[in-house]
Structure 1
Amino acid sequence: MGEEDKNERKQTLQQITDEGISNTKRRRRVTPDEPDATLVEHLDDLRSVLIKSIVVFVIFFTLIFLTIQFWFPYLTKGHDLIVRGPFEVIRFYLRTAGSLGIGLSLPFICYYLWQFMRPGLVDQETKFIKSYFPIMMGLFLLGIAFGYFVVHPVSYYFLIQMGQQNFDVLVTADEYMSFLLMTTMPFALIFQLPVIVLFLHHIELLDSDIMKNVRLYVYFALLVITALIAPPDFFTHMITVSPMIVLYEISIYIVKIKERRQKRREAQMEQ
């Protein structure tokens, strides 16, 4: 009986110890880097990303809303715009601040999402994103500049001239800003094409031969995208689609260079 009592006490102590360790693990915060991170903890990290993104958006929204009367005249220089009532002024300010706030917050939101996703990526993917992030930002700004300095003035002038042949054209401030965003922001995303292609090549889903074989289909897809985001005239379509085609051809050339370097490395390793 004495031996049995000792065994029972040992089992009871072991059970209490195991429960204590289990409770400690449950209370301990598990980082996304650890393999035993639970769904609740991932959702908590995602919540943190959303909160930081909202804070950044609110900061940009407030700055834009408070300063819009100072910088907006430079965007509309040379254009006679109207508003159709006092409430439309407030609506225009809110919409403009919201749209630009989202655009300016986008790089920060992408960075926060990158921090959230990084533990689930392999080393090669992490290294690729780190090395190409500055290029992505440069292409983002280049796309906005192309839309603002090329596509927007050309298409706006063309459409206004066409309308003035038969009508008195009156453009509201809200319509002008909507047109400005439509002819600039999409190009910030379209100009990411080379980075997307390089990433697909990096994970071995795409090579230069495939890109050559599907070239015509890609051109057709680019024309469809252009028809959706650009004003409905042939001249503007050609101006819009031309840099996309150039970017695709540059992507093929860069992929070829990377393939040649990879073959050289493999040949050197075999020697």
Structure 2
Amino acid sequence: MGEVSKHSRTNTTTLNDHLRELQVRLVVCAVALLIAGIVVYMFYGPILAFLSSPLNAPLYYTSPAGGFTYVMKICVAGALIVTVPIIFFNLIMFVRPAFEKVLSMKRVFTVTIFSSVLAVAGAAFAFYCILPGSLQFFKGFQVSGLNALISADSYLGFLTSMIAMFVIVFQIPLIIAFIDTIHPLSPRQLLRLEKWVVIGSLVVALLAPFTYDFVTSILIAVPIIVLYNLSIIIVVMRHKRKNSKNKATARSQELATKPEPINTSAHLPPTGLIGSTNDVATEYPNLATPVTVYRKTTMDICRPAQHQRPITQVAWSQERVVKRVQLSRKVNLISDIKVPPRANHISI
């Protein structure tokens, strides 16, 4: 118990640790924003022409520092767009300790990539689809005798608010998928809530400050409805994949715990010739089948030793031994090496 409590105390994260990690994440994001802002400042001329192209009108500033302020705002906005993946990654990593069981590192990288792609898609949709219609709608309400004098700050605020709204709206699939990961959602429940999503999207489109015409409002409401239905499809696919994985796991556990059937059939050896084609043809399909090995269960009975007759050598063998002994004696007569007599020699 002492070791467990000690281990739990060492793994607990204090408030100072959270604040220190938040400080590190903020410093990383600030450095990334600074570097991206410097890069955007080097190309602010083409960026300014690109942003003012849908307006088809010159921009003005009403203060001595208006031009500098406008350029700095462009650098900040461009740096935010460029560093979206870094900001999302640090935000997810900061909240990851609370959802460590469902947020693996692989899933963190996947969510960061998809979130960045959806953010860029939302910004592109706002700039290319919503902004031209909104500007055209407001130009139609020009009063005779009055000329539009659009300031750079007001135009940039109008554009950034529109882009920020669609960047957030395009994150709906990831938000619903994240909620489904923490607390599983029922697809039927999501389908029942779809009518309220349609009504809410129309209300948001009508209350948006950058458009009041019907066509642009529909263009704002349609992506919300489409993204919500895409979220339902993602939830259904996740549930199907999870159910199939659970079934496969249960099946493997069942096969692992289920005892194998005992093969009681006797596999006798073939009675024919070993090299015959009939034996090969009959035994080849049975190579993969289990073969029962029989164990010896009886005990050998020790019998007493029986008297055996002595072995007598034949005549030619005795003659051969005698000749070998005589030859060895003759060799000993003419040799200086004396061979000791054998223990078992044959006398002649």
Scaled by the length of structure 2, the TM-score of the pair is: 0.61
User: 1:63 deviation in Å?
Assistant: 3.0
Equivalent residues in 2 for 1:91-240, closer than 5 Å: 91-126=69-104, 127-163=106-142, 167-226=146-205, 227-228=207-208, 230-240=210-220
Identity of matched residues, %:
23
Q: Deviations over 1:16-73 (max 9, x none)?
A: xxxxxxxxxxxxxxxxxx6144322332222111111211222223333443234311
- The 1:270–1:119 alpha-carbon spacing in structure 2 relative to 1, beyond 3 Å, is closer
Shifted more, 131-140 versus 114-123: the winner is 114-123
More displaced 10-residue stretch of structure 1: 156-165 or 247-256: 156-165
Q: SS state of the match for residue 251, structure 1?
A: helix
User: Separation in 2 of the partners of 1:219 and 1:165?
Assistant: 39
Give the distance between the partners of 1:207 and 1:128, measured in 2 at CA. Answer: 22
- 1:262 — aligned with what? 242
**Matched-pair contact (CA < 8 Å) for 1:151–1:240:** yes
Equivalents in 2 of 1:105, 1:90: separation in Å?
A: 22
Q: Does 1:45 align with 2:18?
A: no
User: Which residues of structure 2 form unaligned runs of 5+?
Assistant: 1-9, 252-348
> How big is the shift at 1:190?
0.8
CA contact (8 A) 1:61 1:100 kept: yes
Q: Report the count of equivalent residues.
A: 238
Distance 1:209 1:174, change over 3 A: same
Check 1:57–1:131 CA distance in 2 against 1; reply closer, same or farther (3 A cut).
closer
Q: Counterpart in 2 of 1:60?
A: 36
Unaligned runs of 5+ in 1: 1-33
RMSD of aligned residue pairs (Cα, Å) = 2.5
In the alignment, the residues of structure 2 paired with residue 175 and residue 199 of structure 1 have an alpha-carbon distance, to the nearest angstrom, of 36
Secondary structure at 1:143 match in 2: helix
Asked if 1 retains the 8 angstrom alpha-carbon contact of 2:126 and 2:163, the reply is yes
Which position in structure 2 is the counterpart of 1:74?
Answer: 50
Deviations 1:226-245 (A, max 9, x none): 32354223221111111111
Contact kept in structure 2, 1:186 and 1:229, CA below 8 Å: no
* Alpha carbons 1:143, 1:191 under 8 Å: kept: yes
Question: How far 1:267 sits from its partner (Å)?
Answer: 4.4
**For the residues of structure 2 that align with 1:197 and 1:166, how far apart are their CA atoms?**
51
Residue 269 (structure 1) shift: 4.8
Structure 1 stretches of at least 4 aligned residues deviating more than 6 Å after TM superposition: none
Which digits, 9 at most, give the CA deviation of each residue in 1:206-229, with x for residues without a partner?
Answer: 221111111122222223333235
What is the letter of the counterpart of residue 89 of structure 1? Answer: G
Structure of greater relative contact order (alpha carbons < 8 Å, 6+ residues apart): 1
TM-score by length of 1: 0.77
Contact 1:57 / 1:102 at 8 angstroms: preserved in 2?
A: yes
State the distance in 1 between where 2:13 and 2:231 align: 38
Bigger Rg, which one: 2
